[in-house]
Amino acid sequence: MTVLVVSNIDLTTKLQVVKPTTFLDSTIKEPTLNINNEYRYLKTGYYVSMHAEILGNRVIPSCENIIDSSRTPVFLLRAAKAGVLTLPVLVTDSVKKITNELGFPVLIFAVNPFIYDGYKIAGNKSALYRAMKSLGMNYKFAVCAQPLRGELSAVKTYFGKTVNQDIDIQKIAEKVYRIFGIPICKLYIQKTVDKAYLCGLQPVDKEELSEQDLKIISKEVSLISEQGEAFGV
């Protein structure tokens, strides 16, 4: 089976790789593997998957998964439904509600059209006001709040694999890839003494991709391309 690899990253593979702009001008009808360091809505990584879907191609990742994985409350809801451990989530613009229902410390992610990365941790009410002002863009938008019960790690994952040695974290990364199929992303995971909780997903900057990372990505791309298992064939 032929898999069309569309990538904005220079992969170290012998496979033929098509640039996103070339693919967007084409009508190639083949299962499509969309490799991009960021799959932000309205950006090229998103349009590649959209174009593939319009052509009727099976594509990794799908537009639905791209949108849902970047909306933290939706991402966590779907992950929890699939059995991934998550903590209670509040989507609100009310400091009082977060204070009363979650307490401190609390982890805040943005839920607005303008901020797509970063987070804030608030240990008290005044820090929470500052976090909501910044991530809620002067209280104009709601934020997504979760209790912070352990140590928060940002884990780069490639096709569900990570170099992180923690087994719980590895299991979460694998599961998240099975649910959302985002090939390259950064997962935020909280680790307590005995459990790991998924907290969010964000894009990886191109500068954050080391040579080692590129090798892992290229190897996975070659495997998928040869076996086609990820496309159900």
Partner 1 sequence: MSKIACFVEKYNFTDPREESALQNFKAAAEKQGSEFHFLFREDISEVPRYDAVFIRATTDPLNTAYVVSKTAWELGLKVIDDPESITICGNKIHQYALFEKYNVPRIPTMFLNKDELHHKKISEIFDALGKPVVIKAPYTSFSRYVEKAACETSFRDVAKRFFRKSDVLAIQKFTPTAFDWRVGVLNNDVLYVCKYMIPKGKWKHGAKLRGKPTVIWGRTVSLRKREMPARLREVALKACSVVGKGLYGVDIKEVDGDYVVVEVNDNPSIYAGYEDSSDRDIYRRIINYLSE
Q: What does the binding site for partner 1 look like in residue numbers (CB under 8 A)?
A: 21, 24-25, 41-44, 47, 50-51, 54, 63-64, 67-68, 71, 73-74, 77-78, 81, 90-94, 97, 111-113, 141-142
Nearest to 230 by CA among 7, 32, 65: 32
Supply the minimum distance, in Å, between the C-beta of residue 133 and partner 1.
16
Sequence-separated (6 or more) residues with CB below 8 Å from residue 215: 12
Nearer to partner 1 by Cβ, of 25 and 151: the residue is 25
Nearer to partner 1 by Cβ, of 55 and 155: the residue is 55
Supply the minimum distance, in Å, between the C-beta of residue 193 and partner 1.
28
Nearer to partner 1 by Cβ, of 169 and 201: the residue is 201
* Tokens 């970063």 found at: 118
* Tokens 């912070």 found at: 148
Q: What's the per-residue H, E or C state across 69-104?
A: HHCHHHHHHHHHHCCCCECCCEEECCHHHHHHHCCC
Nearer to partner 1 by Cβ, of 78 and 120: the residue is 78
Distance, CA of 197 to CA of 15 (rounded, Å): 37
Nearer to partner 1 by Cβ, of 75 and 158: the residue is 75
Supply the minimum distance, in Å, between the C-beta of residue 20 and partner 1.
9
In the chain, the N- to C-terminal Cα span, in Å, equals 8
Distance, CA of 4 to CA of 174 (rounded, Å): 23
DSSP 27: -
DSSP 208: G
Supply the minimum distance, in Å, between the C-beta of residue 223 and partner 1.
29
Supply the minimum distance, in Å, between the C-beta of residue 129 and partner 1.
15
Distance, CA of 162 to CA of 186 (rounded, Å): 10
Distance, CA of 86 to CA of 66 (rounded, Å): 20
Supply the minimum distance, in Å, between the C-beta of residue 191 and partner 1.
26
Nearer to partner 1 by Cβ, of 38 and 220: the residue is 38
92: Cα within 13 Å, side-chain hemisphere: 16
Nearer to partner 1 by Cβ, of 104 and 141: the residue is 141
Supply the minimum distance, in Å, between the C-beta of residue 46 and partner 1.
8
